[in-house]
Structure 1
Amino acid sequence: MSLLSERQKEELHKSILEYLHANNFIDAFDSLRSETGVDYTPDPKSKYAGLLEKKWTSVIRLQKKIMDLENRNATLQEELSLSPAKRAAMQTDWVPRAPAAYVLTGHRGQVHKVAFHPTFNLLASASQDMTVKVWDWETGEFERTLKGHTRDVNDLDFDSKGNLLVTCSNDMLIKIWDVQNEWSNIKTFAGHDHTISAVRFMPGDQQIVSASRDRTIRIWNVASTHLVRSISAHLDWVRCVSPSEDGRLLASCSNDQTAHITDPLTGETKVELRGHDHTIEVVVFAPTAAYPSIRELAGIPDTDRSRRPGAYAATGSRDKTIKIWDTQSGQLLRSLAGHDNWVRALVFHPTGKFLLSASDDHTIRVWELATGRCVKTVQAHGHFVTCLAWGRTAPTQRAPDGKTNGADGKAPDEKFVNVVASGSVDQTIKIWLP
């Protein structure tokens, strides 16, 4: 069966004849007219003038479109062929990207801190407006407001089961709220002589640790609310305090431009981290998952396979830098520069491959730990970004000696949820989801 009809053949022959005549190929013109028997008189005004060129270029354009579509189809087929398990694995290296999934509004002052509930899809936020607000981060819906403090609420933390929430304030009080009993305020701790900047549950949830402008770090018994120990490690306002995974060490930082690694049982300073030239706003211990990347960054030999909690820490300062430290020797391993203003918050990626930072330059930055490079900058808020938190992570079960419960001594694979929350002086909280 012929692909071309008689009419189409005639049209094609006439357009070729017109082309040959227009380009002065007279012999070819005569020969084709004779062989096809087409009776055609060339006419530059006829519909056949330039028709061959038009058809030719449209064929080329069509071919290009077909190739583009074939490439796109191949890409989509490749994505579809990935099993859900493979797609999930690809998500493990997820980091926040604009735009945020939700913008939570309701606070009437800057947001100081955010904390994820360890099991429910809940986020708690502490604000200058003297309240704590609770949100459903999965839907972006507001749940409730907790009132009780009479000044700025500066920090908050859930216990490991999510039964209790602890908060601290400029009113010099620490409060514990019972999540399962309508979030009622069940305990209040008094004793600090000035603004309380930070509060955390110690591993095991029997004690809490707080840091204050009165220059002390204090450890309290949750059940009795009694003061267990007061530690005077710093010469100025203590901005932040954080326990290691096994609770055997405390990291703290201060307006005195130092960070300290302290023994919570004796109050003795193990190591002083000195190198910043302004107030240190934040200090966090690196999770054991980050050790291989930190060792690669610092050029520490592969022979060091220790997974002892609290071996490394990161600090963020008003000098605009982030510093990574060996907490045993006090050695500065690397300084990360890139922010244009104070660094306010740090959080390690659950895989241990990245460090996320938040700054007064309105951005969240993602640092690749193995190289120290900033691999992503997210324009996060319209004002200073004050805090940052990663979604819940299943805690590694540790034996009393601090070792992990993996048969080979390695930590078991931790399950984590890809969600990040940030808070700002712009009074909003943003939820970043894949």
Structure 2
Amino acid sequence: MHRSSILTDRQQQELNKAILQYLEPILSDNDKNISLHKSLSDLLLPSDSTTDVSTQPITTTTSNNSINNGNPIVPNYLEKKWSTVLRLQRKIIDLENEVSNLRSIVDGQLSASNGAVSVISKDRINWLPLRASKKFNTQTNQLVLSCKIHPVLPTIFGGCSDGSLIIWNVVNDDTSIPEKIIKAHTRSINKLAFSKEAVNLSNKPEDSRSKSYIVASCSADLSIKIWDSSTYKHLRTLTGHDHTVSSVAFSRTTPHILYSVSRDKSVKIWDLINGYCLKSFVGHSEWVRDIDVISVNSTLSLNNIKASHELGDFIVTCSNDQSVRLSHAESGTGLALLIGHSHVVEKVAFLPSVSNIIVDKYLKDNFSLFPSIPQELLTEPLYSSALGYKYCISAGRDNLLKLWLLPPPTIIPHRSPLPAKVNDSQGWPIADFIGHQSWVKAISIHPNGRFIFSGSDDKTIKIWDLSNLNVTGTVKCVSTLNGHEGFLNDLDFARYNSEIISENGTKGKEGSKAKTPEEEHEELMKFIESRMRCLFISGGADNSIRLWS
């Protein structure tokens, strides 16, 4: 009989015994089959074998669990061996994926100039997800359109296509049973958003014990609903939009103020204490897809700079009209327009101030590539002292992410900001993120401001490293996360506590040496590192939310 070239004699003999063991009950029903079994025994275990078992019957009973001469063969040996092989194969695939992700991270750090590797440190501040550690499944008719991590609790909220709001506890080992399922809307939930701070929506005097984080859900049923994220109690229903409500975002300066955008082309501002719409304005000519909000008070600074102008919130919105619009929230005035996408713009987000040092360095070192940008704009103090924003990221159906420099508005005392005078009130495209093979529909930003996460209809999550701008002149994908079997609809990196550092904290004392921007950035990274949570989730059309580790 032909022997395998990869099995030892002993392994081959054990395999043959397992085959005979498997066949014995099948071939023991008549004399003809018993004769066939005897012939197979002679073939698989020939008489010249070191252990002569050709004339011995095979038994799998507990009293004699062996094949001749006491060589142990456990019951169902062949089936158990096959199950072991499958488990090992699955482990091999997981390890190969992890090695591939690690290799892509290292490759992404290769310097174009000398081939040296700029290794991403393994400090907590540079934590990156590598593989899905938990999977939270929904029902067949519940595509996950939005997912968010609670600001402080270990819970995940998912908004589904059937209008269900589902909550899971990430510390539970059994992911098949949600903590709560709420029939929140009659049609799909398009977006979830958590308040920036714990708030009290009652008209009673502020009571810290009555404060809690609230979550807003917006839907294709034209409504927005407000929920207590701890008790899951329904608090408010906001109505007023004339079409699908696409996205919502909370104010940081006034935590009970909510912004919403809709297919009716409008942006609305809501007071959640009484449920009234305070203002509505139209800035786009088509369906408004997404919104993000920022203010000087939401810009983390070690110098504890106070706003020199009480300008409030600024918002960026994106639309089917293929544009991104920067607006002053309170007045609704359009400040700048970003034109460059060739298809519907699905997502937009302000870059946090901690990202500025990376992009600023690239622009200063490559100023000749951007002749339309005034050089003094790169050091304009208005960005940090009054605006809170400088750059933003957009993503769309042209398979691209784009990095933009936003022009500062015209500031006139005692008046709302006016459109920017420079560059005809248009933003400057700085870099394109090229790599996705289909629509990009989700963006999330790492707390360190260096890494950008994007989710696409190509079923992948890509991690982009902004610092590569200062190495290769492009934003390179340093890792691709695979696992979803359907379109990616939303991503979320757990929020960290971003309270402004107090006077008695890390701020330098009077008379101490002023810190350089690099020293301040390093200290700021330590501050963020001490407060960040290494949790990252994704939700998609494959009826699942995945927790990555």
The two structures have a TM-score, normalised by structure 1, of 0.74
Q: Is the 8 A contact 1:198 1:212 kept in 2?
A: yes
| Equivalent residue for 1:191, pick from 227, 231, 240 | 240
Aligned partner of 2:414 in structure 1 is none
Aligned with residue 499 of structure 2, among 396, 410, 417: 396
Provide the C-alpha distance between the structure 2 equivalents of 1:397 and 1:173, rounded to a whole number of angstroms: 34
Report the equivalent of 1:312: 391
Give the letter for the 2:171 counterpart: E
> Does the C-alpha gap of structure 1 residues 375 and 139 become closer, same or farther in structure 2, counting only changes over 3 Å?
same
Partner of 1:102: 134
User: RMSD value over aligned CA atoms?
Assistant: 2.4
Aligned to 2:348: 283
Classify the secondary structure of the residue corresponding to 1:92.
helix
Q: Which amino acid aligns with 1:407?
A: K
Structure 1 segment 34-433 matched on structure 2, within 5 A: 90-98=123-131, 100-107=132-139, 108-139=141-172, 141=175, 142-159=178-195, 160-161=197-198, 162-180=212-230, 182-203=231-252, 204-245=254-295, 246=297, 248-299=313-364, 304=379, 308=384, 309-328=388-407, 330-371=427-468, 372-397=475-500, 407=507, 412=524, 413-414=527-528, 415-433=531-549
- Answer whether contact 1:296 1:370 (CA < 8 A) is retained: no
Structure with more strand by fraction: 1
Matches of 1:388 and 1:297 in 2, distance apart? 27
Closer, same or farther: CA 379–178 of 1 in aligned 2, 3 Å? same
Q: 1:350 to 1:143 in 2, by over 3 A?
A: same
3-state SS in 1 of match to 2:360: helix
Show CA shifts across 1:312-336 (max 9, x none): 1000010001000111261111111
Note closer, same or farther for the CA distance 1:367–1:179 as it changes in structure 2 (3 Å cut): closer
Task: Give, in angstroms, the shift of residue 89 of structure 1.
Answer: 6.2
Output the CA distance in 2 between the equivalents of 1:125 and 1:429. 8
Map of 1:83 onto structure 2: none
Structure 1 244/209 Cα, relative in aligned 2: closer, same or farther at 3 Å?
Answer: same
Contact 2:223/2:238, CA 8 A, preserved across alignment: yes
User: 2:447 touches 2:495 (CA, 8 Å); kept in 1?
Assistant: no
Give the letter for the 2:259 counterpart: V
How far did residue 305 of structure 1 move? 8.0
Shift of 1:380: 3.4
Whether the 8 Å CA contact 1:364–1:380 is kept in 2: the answer is no
Structure 2 letter corresponding to 1:171 = D
3-state DSSP of counterpart to 2:123: helix
Q: Which amino acid aligns with 1:355?
A: I
- What amino acid is the match of 2:546? K
TM superposition shift of 1:398: 8.2
Render the CA deviation track for 1:252-298: whole Å, top value 9, x for unaligned. 00000001110001100110010000000000000111111222344
Give the CA deviation at 1:364: 0.6
Mapped contact 1:210–1:217 kept (Cα < 8 A):
yes
Q: Distance in 2 between matches of 1:191 and 1:124?
A: 25
**Aligned counterparts of 1:240 and 1:106: Cα–Cα separation in 2:** 25
Counterparts in 2 of 1:373 and 1:178: CA distance versus 1, 3 Å: same
CA distance in 1 between counterparts of 2:168 and 2:353 reads 30
**Structure 2: any 5+ residue segments left out of the alignment?**
1-120, 199-211, 298-311, 368-374, 408-425, 469-474, 509-514
Secondary structure in 2 aligned to 1:265? Answer: coil
Q: By how many angstroms is 1:406 displaced?
A: 6.2
For residues 398 and 262 of structure 1, the distance between their equivalents in structure 2, rounded to whole angstroms, comes to 28
CA contact (8 A) 1:297 1:369 kept: no
Q: Which runs of 5+ in 1 are unaligned?
A: 1-87
1:110 is displaced (CA, Å) by: 1.3
* CA offset digits 1:45-89 (Å, max 9, x no partner): xxxxxxxxxxxxxxxxxxxxxxxxxxxxxxxxxxxxxxxxxxx96
Following TM superposition, by how much is the alpha carbon of 1:343 offset from its aligned partner in structure 2, in angstroms? 0.5
Equivalents in 2 of 1:395, 1:133: separation in Å?
Answer: 27
Conservation of the 8 A alpha-carbon contact between 2:326 and 2:334: yes
Contact kept, 8 Å, 2:501 with 2:507, in 1: the verdict is no
Looking at structure 1, the residues matched to 363 and 479 of structure 2 have their Cα atoms a distance apart, in angstroms, of 21
Change (3 A) 1:282 1:398: farther
Per-residue CA distance 1:166-218 (angstroms, 9 max, x = gap) = 111000001111234x3111210100000001011111312100010000010
Aligned length: 341
SS at match of 1:239: strand
Over 3 Å counting, the alpha-carbon distance change for 1:186 and 1:353 in structure 2 is: same
Is the contact between residue 298 and residue 334 of structure 1 (CA under 8 Å) also seen in structure 2?
A: no
Q: Secondary structure at the match of 2:358?
A: helix
* Distance (whole Å) between structure 2 residues aligned to residue 109 and residue 102 of structure 1: 18
With over 3 angstroms needed to count, the CA separation of the structure-2 counterparts of 1:305 and 1:373, relative to structure 1, is: farther
Q: CA 1:286–1:138 in 2, change beyond 3 Å: closer, same or farther?
A: farther
Q: Deviations over 1:361-407 (max 9, x none)?
A: 111111110221111111131111111000121123389xxx9x963
C-alpha distance in structure 1 between counterparts of 2:535 and 2:150, whole Å: 12
With normalisation by structure 2, the TM-score equals 0.59
Percent identity, aligned pairs only, is 28
Which residue of the partner structure matches residue 35 of structure 1? Answer: none
Moved more, 300-309 or 106-115: 300-309
Residue 366 of structure 1 aligns to which amino acid in structure 2? I
* Aligned residue type for 1:418: C
Amino acid at match of 1:131: S
